[in-house]
Structure 1
């Protein structure tokens, strides 16, 4: 078995459990997102970062299965027939929006929308789910970017994008619903995401999983 769990955070690992039989695919999606995050965080030259993101796009969309062969994550995704993942182009555009001059809106809609499309396993998701993904992405960024001003802007933008009404979350989207409501709880209080799976975040996750929010 190919093991690619090194980049999987405790929160992502726990969220994936709620995907049931689809958990292996969710774990790979979260692992890929973590790989993109690390790529962007270690990029000092925008052009180099764009080239590295382009490599992932080319490898994951290569129908011949040759490009990227030997990269454990890509091999694992091909084994599950999920390469390319849904929303890949949007997802990569979102991460690219953090390279150089930060474009928070492009990042939120791109990373969040692309990630939630990949987790949902389909491209034709409702606009409110893309919005929910954007909220989650801004919350996550706020706790990891290390720039207080940008983090504050991210939380303010996320608050403006919180869902209104009560959308119906299909059962298979339970991990996405949990992720969104975890973010919403902090955003409504003006808080950033915690640096890891803290006891308080774990308890909130359990409550959301059991009670819906």
Structure 2
């Protein structure tokens, strides 16, 4: 996702002073996703995620190690009132994908709430928006992202179905940068192709109007 032009577009709608914070949060999500995607042995994957969980919590009491993601969070997110312990909660969402052998509806909801819901709520608070309203679009965003890369067609289908509920809610009160990410997920779910004029026009209109 780090090279996603639509994410780059979304970042431009974050207030300039808060843009590095949103970029740091999304980079954390990328890093955790990389752990899960490259894990072949669940036990090793859980150890790697536990390292991230512990490292994020330690940001509350110590300087970050020489790792760009942690350094960026310490520099741009923690000064805005977000604790490392709260950031560590996002790890739990990714951990669901390793812990559960079967990603049924309950597991997918748990994943969506802890990954996307928590990430968007934190990001909304950082951007000066309504954290509670941002959580649901964040859940949908996480589910669509999972569905796009899932090897199991059944998991992808269940994730897309659940995402429809979360993404169907109004984006009023959600910071525009996060709204653009949620809208991008809506368009993915609707099968609107990337790079096409219809998609570009819809994103541009939302960027201008927030609708």
Q: Same fold (TM over 0.5)?
A: yes
Aligned to 2:147: 142
Cα deviations across residues 38-81 of structure 1 (Å, max 9, x unaligned)?
11001112222111111112112213325x51112212222225
TM-score (norm 2): 0.80
Q: How does 1:61-210 map to 2 (within 5 A)?
A: 61-62=57-58, 63-66=60-63, 68-82=64-78, 84=83, 87-99=86-98, 100-101=100-101, 102=103, 103-121=107-125, 125-126=131-132, 128-164=133-169, 166=170, 168-169=172-173, 173-187=175-189, 189=190, 191=191, 198-200=195-197, 201-210=199-208
Q: Shift in Å at residue 108 of structure 1?
A: 0.9
Cα deviations across residues 94-144 of structure 1 (Å, max 9, x unaligned)?
11111142321111111111110231236x822x42211111111111112
* 1:212 and 2:210 are equivalent in the alignment: yes
Q: Shift in Å at residue 177 of structure 1?
A: 1.5
Q: Contact 1:108/1:137 (CA < 8 Å) preserved in 2? A: yes
- Alpha-carbon spacing, 1:168–1:7, altered in 2? closer, same or farther (3 Å): closer
Q: Contact 2:119/2:138 (CA < 8 Å) preserved in 1? A: yes
Instruction: Write the distance in 1 (CA, Å) between the matches of 2:36 and 2:10.
Output: 23
Q: Shift in Å at residue 179 of structure 1?
A: 1.6
Cα deviations across residues 140-162 of structure 1 (Å, max 9, x unaligned)?
11112233221111111112334
Instruction: Write the distance in 1 (CA, Å) between the matches of 2:144 and 2:171.
Output: 20
Cα deviations across residues 176-199 of structure 1 (Å, max 9, x unaligned)?
112222223443x3x3x87xx634
Match of 1:46 among 42, 59, 78: 42
Q: Contact 1:131/1:163 (CA < 8 Å) preserved in 2? A: no
Q: Shift in Å at residue 12 of structure 1?
A: 2.2
- Alpha-carbon spacing, 1:14–1:85, altered in 2? closer, same or farther (3 Å): farther
Q: Shift in Å at residue 87 of structure 1?
A: 4.3
Using the TM superposition, name which of 177-186 and 93-102 deviates more. Answer: 177-186
- Alpha-carbon spacing, 1:167–1:12, altered in 2? closer, same or farther (3 Å): closer
Aligned length: 198
5+ residue gaps in structure 2? none
Aligned to 1:3: none
Instruction: Write the distance in 1 (CA, Å) between the matches of 2:161 and 2:206.
Output: 23
Structure number having the greater helix percentage: 2
TM-score (norm 1): 0.79
- The DSSP-based 3-state class of the residue aligned with 1:159 is helix
- The DSSP-based 3-state class of the residue aligned with 2:65 is coil
